[in-house]
A and B are shown apart, each in its own frame.
Chain A
Amino acid sequence: MTYQKELLFVDDCENDIELTLGALESIGLKERVVVARDGVEALEYFSGEGQFAGRGNPIPKLVLLDLKLPRINGMEVLKAIRENERLRDVPVVMLTSSREPRDVAEGYRLGINAFVVKPVNFKDFTDSVQQLGRFWMTVNEPPP
């Protein structure tokens, strides 16, 4: 019933999407990435609505969540995930430009599994994304 292999990547910035997908492509994860371009799309992914209609109710192996999103922001998406009985245990990593302590604290309070700031330097950015991909998609054992 579930696609435990998928990585849900939620980001509204096309440039970031391209750079992130590029980084994940070189470690062979690109094919497993599903992109949602704002909070609403992310929630539609879980409920199998909108562009995700007909895909059932998948549970991803990892959610890479940007904080600042149009309409419904990252925190609200996180809250929706953690309040959902079925999705409560899904690993969520916040990947964002913000290094605001307020956001970090709020994120952990709402139950993120990691908080990663997008580095400005391209090599650092690629390293971060690849490390995240390797750890959460291959090393880490997801909840049953």
Chain B
Amino acid sequence: MNSKSFKFRLIFLLLLVLIPTGMLVLGANVQRQESEKKMLREQAIYAAKLAAASQAYYIKQTRQLLSTMTQFPFFVMAKDQGLSRTGMANLKLLQPDFHDFGLIEKDGTVFCHTLGTNLIGDPISLAFARKVLKKPAFSMNELGGENNLKPASLQFAYPVFQGNKQVIRLMYASLKLPLLSEALAAIPVPEGGVVSVMDRGGHVVAQHPLLQDGVGKKISSFPFAPKVVSQEGEILETDGRDGIRRLYATTSVVDGIEPFLSVQVAVPQKLLFAQADARFGGSLVGFLLISVIVLLIARWYSERAFLRPVGAMLGATELLTKGDLTARTGISSEKSELHILARRFDIMADTLASRQRQLEQANAEIRRNNAELEQRVEERTSELVTLNNELEAFSYSVSHDLRAPLRHMDGFAQLLVVDPSMESNAIAQRYLGLITKSAKQMGALIDDLLSFSKMSRQSMAVEKVDMGQLVSGVVDEIKINEEGREIIWKIGSLPEVRGDVALIRMVWQNLLSNAVKYTRARKPAEIEINGAQKGNELIYSIKDNGAGFNMKYANKLFGVFQRLHRESEFEGTGIGLANVRRIIQRHGGRTWAEAELGKGATFFFSLPEQLS
């Protein structure tokens, strides 16, 4: 992925938010974990203290009991052993927590006890008794050593004073040891924890739950608890002898000044902090999970909200820059600024494309107009060229054809004048005839020239022309002029056309009088007139059985002053067919002919069906 890309930057931005958040979450969790641990530690100490209190209760109770009982001399000073024993036995009945009561003489011998005659050994550690006699105060014996009495009990001794300071006896009490452990059962120890109570010798006095080693053993035989301190409320987190890391909360049970017992609550750290650690880990995993989900959602969303429109725009712009104006982002909704941007981009591209189209259309129109203009100029030019050619031909003929009859008139007139010995009147008559003919011919020539020049300039009046009617009119005229000739007219149906009536009439006059002229030698002459529509043209034809011509010279047929026959054969000025062509061309049609020398000719002309 390009490190400058939108996607990368988005993810970078997201990470910029996620990383500090993650650190905050981590910090908060660490803090919470710490406070939880602190609470757990306090809980452990609390448990230890509760345990200490439960143990202290028994010690205090025993002290009070012994203190009270030693106030009564009859009870502790009696000389009668049996009486004392009975008193002790009654007391034992009243105090079921105790296993035995008794008195020790000041020489350290047992005066009385309640354990009966079957007792083997001493009811109390005599060493302990001597120690208390030496230092008279409420004391508690340590377990182990001489104190291996059965059932296990914790022994307390209290001095009996005579007068002020004289110790004469000790009263002792054996507390049932399991009671202490039972008392611990009610202590809320953290899960997996063990609460142990030790005497000053390090023997376990009470424990809950009970370990295999059991009560009475030295703590040093524990698989854990490397250290028991008597200081109040100490917390120690260290590895036990068994290698398991534990939290050790210790406190002491104090009665008066001396600590009698110490209490240890040992909890495996793993178990203690399991929940907190699990919560910590859980919240971290949760955070990571949420982060991943957020990233995925961001990816999906950015894809949808940013990358897709941006990608679409990138793609479209690339195509556009390559000149493809049809490229679009294809985004139609307007959800966000980017979508709107993409949408507007599309609109922009549309506008661009439509501008381009308009431009192209305009260009095409300009080109078309130019082409039209060019064509029109060309048409005009060719018209002008044609006109110019005709004008030249006109002036040419003026200098050529008009001179000839003049020369002839002058020539034959001179012959009349110069040769007075003209033998016969016939010759003179002939010369005069030639002169007259020349004059006529000149007149005809002048008329034709004028009509040609006039026709070239005259503007057309286009209207509907009934060809049939027009042709029959012309034919009728010709019939009058050609009376005596035998001509078979075959006139087919002639379609209507649009054009200038006068000019089209001139066409028919020329072509029909030509047909009549060149069939002069035929008896009968046949002239066939037809018309038909072919495509969008109307084609008319005049067929005769006259002199015809060689197709070799067909190209000269419609030229001004071009003739295929000598004047002596068929009179004519050479303007008629030039006129025909001129008129048909002005109507947008064509002229042509087919012929065979001596067999006749067919002249055709076409006119457009719809004259513009």
A residues near B, CB below 8 A? Answer: 12-16, 19, 22, 37-38, 67-68, 70-72, 96-100, 118-123, 125
Contacts and interface: CB of A to CB of B under 8 A. Distances in A.
Contact of A122 (B403, B407, B434, B553): B407
A125 B516 CA distance: 37
Given A68-B401, A70-B566, A118-B403, 15 more contacts: A12-B567, A12-B568, A15-B412, A16-B404, A16-B408, A19-B408, A19-B411, A19-B412, A70-B564, A96-B400, A99-B399, A120-B403, A120-B410, A122-B410, A122-B411
16 contacts: A13-B408, A13-B567, A16-B408, A19-B408, A38-B566, A67-B400, A68-B400, A68-B561, A97-B403, A97-B404, A97-B407, A120-B407, A122-B411, A122-B414, A123-B414, A125-B411
B384 interface: no
Contact of A15 (B399, B434, B556): B434
Given A15-B408, A98-B396, A122-B407, A70 B563 contact: yes
B438 interface: yes
Contacts of A125: 407, 411
Interface residues of B, number: 27
B550 interface: yes
Interface in B417-435: 434
Q: Chain A binding site: helix, strand, loop or mixed by DSSP?
A: loop
A19 B406 CA distance: 13
B568 A37 contact: yes
B357 interface: no
A131 B412 CA distance: 20
Contacts of B413: 122
A11 B564 CA distance: 14
Contact of A118 (B407, B438, B565): B407
Contacts of B400: 67-68, 96-98, 100
B415 interface: yes
B437 to A, nearest CB: 8
Contacts of B567: 12-14
A45 to B, nearest CB: 16
Contacts of A72: 553
Contacts of A118: 403-404, 407
A99 B396 CA distance: 9
A119 B407 contact: yes
A65 to B, nearest CB: 14
Contacts of B564: 70-71
Contacts of B550: 71
Contacts of B434: 15
A97 B414 CA distance: 19
Nearest to A122: B414
A130 to B, nearest CB: 14
A86 to B, nearest CB: 23
Contacts of B403: 97, 118, 120
Contacts of B406: 120
A109 to B, nearest CB: 18
Nearest to B553: A71
Contact of B399 (A19, A97, A122): A97
